[in-house]
């Protein structure tokens, strides 16, 4: 593994980027390719000699990224290897249009070295009998063609029950709208796809790194397969979704798993939270709002991604009034000084949204006038439970870290729903390839 500060662009990489600038000009595509080059160079630097690199890329840039990866992995100085161009083939509904319907994606596969790369042989089933000729023995598209005996039965040879070694066309279906694994994340990959890749190029105890982990399918599969893992994403909402995914999947083991997870770039105390809150740029402040809402709501709230048209609402959570009816809670986050008018505005928004609760997350303790506003809003009594709660509530950032407990103050809604967040996840945070810069 290389050391921090040792990153070097090869001469071929520099020449390629200069050439692409002359061809493409200084637009969004070139900016994206430079961004990806920086990331891939760093991945190559930390990759162990026996490690492998897989890049799933959009067809608008895959041919350029192939050249980028060649200069990083396969140059004489680097000594790596281009292994395969994998075709991920899938079926989906086809509509008439002016172009051929897209039914596959491309995954580029490289090795850090040419010899000692981890590569575990996997097998897949034979071709369906009705899809192949029964009079010829050979290989068609990587699939075994078999003979029949005199009675019309397929001849089985010794050791044939394993199937054939996996080829470079992965026939794996996209995640269906009703699939249980579906998280609502735009770029989510099927578990079967990540499982095949991780099993192929790693062993138990090895480290799997996903530099654009999104909703966390790769790290979830790595966890289940006994690999160590590192996930990187640009937004706290993605990180929160992954933590929720683990908590839902490993209910009994989650405390132990959570204790073993190291988070970097996420507020761990009041000081770091306030540093995030007081950043000057709007994008970073939005991340503070997401962190505050998702932390307080135990990652159960939906974040409002609308810019400038959110009506002051930063997040929404749901709970059950009865088996058929949802109640609603809205969240607002303020990083500056708060006063009674902020609660009055929150209450007005609550009434407009027909929400039972309004939560204000802020940095200041509520003043007497704010407490009066809370009292004036009244209490909500759940129709099925012997329970009353203030319709307006104030939570300070300091309480999220709560000096008296290990977890801090968290949302406590009556009959809270824990499934609503899956269907509306981070659509503004999708790692669309040309929208990263």
> Could you tell me if 246 and 274 lie in one domain?
no
CATH number at residue 209: 3.40.50.150
Say yes or no: 206 and 323 in one domain: no
The answer to whether residues 364 and 384 belong to one domain is: yes
In a domain, 95, yes or no: yes
> Is residue 360 within 8 Å of 346, Cβ to Cβ?
yes
Alpha-carbon distance values, 396 to 156, 307, 336, 344, 408 (Å): 70, 24, 12, 17, 11
- On whether both 2 and 81 belong to a single domain, the answer is yes
In a domain, 335, yes or no: yes
CB of 257 within 8 A of CB of 249?
no
pTM of the model: 0.76
For residues 333 and 197, membership in a common domain is answered with: no
CATH of the domain at 364: 3.40.1350
Q: At what angle do helices 282-296 and 270-277 cross, to 10 degrees?
A: 140
What does each C-alpha distance from 422 to 36, 237, 249, 414, 427 come to in angstroms?
A: 29, 12, 13, 20, 11
Claim to verify: residue 275 and residue 262 sit in the same structural domain: no
Are both 19 and 97 inside the same structural domain?
A: yes
Same domain, 274 and 409: yes
Same domain, 222 and 295: no
Q: Does 12 share its domain with 106?
A: yes
Could you give the 3-state DSSP secondary structure of residue 335?
coil
Instruction: Flag whether 300 is in a domain.
Output: yes
Distance CA 412, CA 316 (A): 14
Task: Spell out the per-residue pLDDT of the chain, length 437, in tens.
Answer: 445 445 578 889 999 999 999 999 999 999 999 999 999 999 999 999 999 999 998 888 999 999 999 999 997 777 899 999 999 998 877 676 788 888 899 999 999 998 888 999 888 765 554 444 443 344 444 464 555 555 555 555 555 566 778 889 999 988 887 888 887 777 789 999 999 999 999 999 999 999 999 889 999 999 999 999 999 988 887 888 888 889 888 888 888 988 899 888 788 888 889 888 888 777 777 889 999 999 999 888 988 876 555 567 999 999 999 989 999 999 999 988 899 999 999 999 999 999 999 999 999 899 999 999 999 999 999 999 999 999 999 999 999 987 444 568 899 999 998 776 554 333 333 333 334 33
Tell me phi and psi for residue 433, to 5 degrees: -65, -35
Enumerate the H helices of 48-119 as residue ranges.
Answer: 62-73
Q: List the domain range (segments joined by +) for residue 245.
A: 191-266
- Is 402 within a domain? yes
Query: How far is the C-alpha of 218 from the C-alpha of 221, rounded, in Å?
Result: 5
Q: How many domains does the chain have?
A: 3
**204 and 99 within one domain:** no
On whether both 337 and 405 belong to a single domain, the answer is yes
Q: How far apart are CA 134 and CA 156, in angstroms?
A: 13
Domain boundary among 246, 266, 286: 266
């Amino acid at each position: 593994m290389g050391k921090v500060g040792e990153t070097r662009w090869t001469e071929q990489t520099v020449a390629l980027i200069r050439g692409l600038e002359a061809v493409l000009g200084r637009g969004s595509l070139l900016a994206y390719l430079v961004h990806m080059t920086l990331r891939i160079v760093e991945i190559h630097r930390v990759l162990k000699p026996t490690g492998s690199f897989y890049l799933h890329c959009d067809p608008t840039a895959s041919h350029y990224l192939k050249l980028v990866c060649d200069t990083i992995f396969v140059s004489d100085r680097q000594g790596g290897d281009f292994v395969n161009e994998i075709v991920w083939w899938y079926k989906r509904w086809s509509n008439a249009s002016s172009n051929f319907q897209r039914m596959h994606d491309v995954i580029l596969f490289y090795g850090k070295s040419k010899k000692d790369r981890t590569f575990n042989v996997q097998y897949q089933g034979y071709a369906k009998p009705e899809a192949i000729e029964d009079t010829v023995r050979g290989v068609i598209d990587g699939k075994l063609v078999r003979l029949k005996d005199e009675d019309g039965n397929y001849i089985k040879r010794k050791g044939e029950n394993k199937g054939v070694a996996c080829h470079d066309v992965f026939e794996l279906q996209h995640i269906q709208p009703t699939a249980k694994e579906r998280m609502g994340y735009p770029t989510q990959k099927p578990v079967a796809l990540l499982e095949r890749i991780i099993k192929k190029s790693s062993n138990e105890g090895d480290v799997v790194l996903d530099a654009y982990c999104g909703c966390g399918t790769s790290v979830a599969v790595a966890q289940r397969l006994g690999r160590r893992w590192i996930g990187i994403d640009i937004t706290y909402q993605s990180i929160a979704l992954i933590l929720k995914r683990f908590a839902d999947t490993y209910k009994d083991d989650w405390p132990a798993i959570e204790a073993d997870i190291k988070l970097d770039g996420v507020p761990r105390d009041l000081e770091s939270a306030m540093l995030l809150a007081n950043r000057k740029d709007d994008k970073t402040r939005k991340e503070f709002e997401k962190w505050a809402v998702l932390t307080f709501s135990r990652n159960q709230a939906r974040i409002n991604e609308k810019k400038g048209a959110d009506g002051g609402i930063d997040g929404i959570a749901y709970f059950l009034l009865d088996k058929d009816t949802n109640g609603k809670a809205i969240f607002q986050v303020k990083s500056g000084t708060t006063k009674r008018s902020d609660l009055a505005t929150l209450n007005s928004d609550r009434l407009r949204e027909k929400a039972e609760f309004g939560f204000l997350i802020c940095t200041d303790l509520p003043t007497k006038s704010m407490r009066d506003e809370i009292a004036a809003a009244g209490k909500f009594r759940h129709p099925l439970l012997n329970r009353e709660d203030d319709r307006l509530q104030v939570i300070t950032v300091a309480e999220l870290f709560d000096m008296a407990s290990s977890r801090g103050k968290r949302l406590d809604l009556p009959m809270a729903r824990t499934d609503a967040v899956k269907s509306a996840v981070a659509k503004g945070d999708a790692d669309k390839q040309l929208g990263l810069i």
